[in-house]
Structure 1
Amino acid sequence: MKAQELIRVLKTTLLEEIYEYDYNRETNKLRLTHRSINKGIDISIPPILAKYETKKEQAIEEVVYTITQTFQAMEKENAGAIDPASSVYPVIRSTSFPLKSNEGNRFITKDHTAETRIYYALDLGNTYRLLDEKMLANWNVRETEIRERALFQVRNLKNSYKKDEVAGNIFYFFNNNDGYDASRILNESLLRDMKKLIVGDMTISVPHQDVMIIGDIRNETGYDVLAQMTMHFFTVGTVPVTSLSFVYENGDLEPIFIMAKNRVVKEKEEE
């Protein structure tokens, strides 16, 4: 399937009477604008085509669902059906993630590590929208208040996990499918509680937004396993964050670089 064929297929479900299509050949992105609310989203074509090679029609169904849910959320927001006070969460992104929206508005962010940055999102049910300075101005809310609300919300998330043992090392997988699994790295009380379970080195990985992996690394093989595991999750994630892991010591996160088999280099984060 090629880009133009994909667009033709989308038009059979997402009708042109409702959506305006604008395909940029140079960037290989499709701009979809909902005519009634005059808001749009950009869709990168290559990842969809790549998924189509293996998932066929399911890949089309998934993108249509995502687009539909996103615009429904925008309609709710326009109608004032969302309460910002109880619907703001932090989300973890790579430091290479854009700092401004497509409209040129600065996103609300906070520094985290050399590899990660905190953004803030308005939860809209099946999706969310990253907060920018224009939205805060409309709400007449300060950035500090948004950060406090978001941190409170992430502390209230359920923290179920699955446990696995590999070569004598223990790994805890947080995958609650709520969109905020990586955000749990900001829950200090959770990290302190997990630290009590750890016998060896405590590592934390957020390879993509929908998983956080806490490792109890008890031997050198554990670091090799960790490197392979995080790279796998990083490559398959819908929103990749970082393939690096962190050692959690005394409340601090130290990135670890696994250079070769059984060789680990730690680099202290700058304060």
Structure 2
Amino acid sequence: MDSKQMKDILVKRLSNEDRSFTFDKKKDQLRIESKQTKKGVTITLPGIIARWENEKEKAIDEMVYYIEEGLKAIDKDCSIEAESNKIYPVIRSTSFPIASNEEIPFITEDHTAETRIYFALDLGNTYRLIDEKIMQQENWTPQIIKEMALFNVRSLSTSMKKDSVAGNTFYFLNSNDGYDASRVLNDNFLKNMNESLEGTMAVAVPHQDVLIIADVVNETGYDILAQMTMSFFASGRVPITALSFLYEEGQLEPIFILGKNKKREK
């Protein structure tokens, strides 16, 4: 399937009289927006096609749901003050836009060389990224938003599944609440995990709906983590990074894993 075919499928599934569609062939992107408000969402098609190759109709069904909920969120009147207990941090790649389609800057925080922190207002089935316009309407500051978000993320479950391969243990946090990768900002959780592991702790956030923690005891563990992270990255609805991180003294340091050799990013 190519981008034009995927575009045609999505347009057919999402069409109604209140929406317009714009296909950017050069960027392989489809934009869906409200004719009335001129607000909408832009999606990159190759990632959806990659998921379709493995999951077929399930991938399309999930993307249609994601887009529908995103459009509802854009139209919804959001109040931070009324929902302060529903503000959460979300992790994105550093290539993710730092402003909305209306060119209003999002509230962000530096994280690693590969990732950036955004802040979102949870709306139930989806969330809305907090921008300067929303912040100013409610007379908040970036610091207050950050403090509320980090407080709230610590309240989320950290229940994990685990698997052992070649002596290495891999833990997976996949609650599908939209904030699985965000748990990487729970410092106490990471610290407690590190203290309980036998080997070197490595962390991966390949997409927003999974957090991987690895207890690496041999070189094979790094190879397995690299393959696993790339697989999750390629199949994620909102990809973040295919790189993994070493956890050292409370900090995350990106690493390149090549064959049986590991090289830290300088």
Q: Return the TM-score normalized by structure 1.
A: 0.86
More contact order relative to length (CA 8 Å, sep ≥ 6) = 2
**1:20 matched residue in structure 2:** 20
Instruction: Note closer, same or farther for the CA distance 1:82–1:9 as it changes in structure 2 (3 Å cut).
Output: farther
1:188 CA displacement: 0.7
Query: Partner amino acid for 2:43?
Result: I
**1:229 matched residue in structure 2:** 228
**2:259 matched residue in structure 1:** 260
Secondary structure in structure 1 of the residue aligned to 2:252: strand
Structure 1, 153-162 or 95-104: larger mean CA deviation: 95-104
1:4 CA displacement: 5.9
1:147 CA displacement: 0.4
1:140 lines up with 2:139 in the alignment: yes
**1:106 matched residue in structure 2:** 105
Contact 1:82-1:124 at 8 Å conserved across structures: no
**Whole-Å Cα distance in 2 between the matches of residues 226 and 50 of structure 1?**
21
Instruction: Note closer, same or farther for the CA distance 1:170–1:108 as it changes in structure 2 (3 Å cut).
Output: same
**Whole-Å Cα distance in 1 between the matches of residues 131 and 95 of structure 2?**
17
- Where do 1:211-226 residues align within 5 Å? 211-226=210-225
**Whole-Å Cα distance in 1 between the matches of residues 4 and 244 of structure 2?**
40
**Whole-Å Cα distance in 1 between the matches of residues 99 and 248 of structure 2?**
33
Contact 1:76-1:82 at 8 Å conserved across structures: no
Instruction: Note closer, same or farther for the CA distance 1:182–1:60 as it changes in structure 2 (3 Å cut).
Output: closer
**Whole-Å Cα distance in 2 between the matches of residues 254 and 209 of structure 1?**
19
Structure 1, 25-34 or 245-254: larger mean CA deviation: 25-34
Instruction: Note closer, same or farther for the CA distance 1:247–1:28 as it changes in structure 2 (3 Å cut).
Output: closer
Instruction: Note closer, same or farther for the CA distance 1:202–1:104 as it changes in structure 2 (3 Å cut).
Output: same
**2:148 matched residue in structure 1:** 149
Q: Deviations over 1:200-253 (max 9, x none)?
A: 111111111111111111122212222222222222222222222222222122
Instruction: State which structure, 1 or 2, has the greater radius of gyration over its C-alpha atoms.
Output: 1
- Where do 1:36-185 residues align within 5 Å? 38-52=38-52, 55-77=55-77, 83-185=82-184
1:199 CA displacement: 0.9
**Structure 2 spans left out of the alignment, 5+ residues:** none
Structure 1, 37-46 or 245-254: larger mean CA deviation: 37-46
Identity fraction in percent? 52
Secondary structure in structure 2 of the residue aligned to 1:41: strand
**Whole-Å Cα distance in 2 between the matches of residues 127 and 166 of structure 1?**
35
Contact 2:256-2:264 at 8 Å conserved across structures: yes
Q: Deviations over 1:239-270 (max 9, x none)?
A: 22222222222212222222331x223357xx
**Whole-Å Cα distance in 2 between the matches of residues 245 and 54 of structure 1?**
23
**2:29 matched residue in structure 1:** 29
Query: Partner amino acid for 1:246?
Result: F
Contact 1:182-1:211 at 8 Å conserved across structures: yes
Secondary structure in structure 2 of the residue aligned to 1:196: helix
Contact 1:89-1:153 at 8 Å conserved across structures: yes
**Whole-Å Cα distance in 1 between the matches of residues 14 and 141 of structure 2?**
37
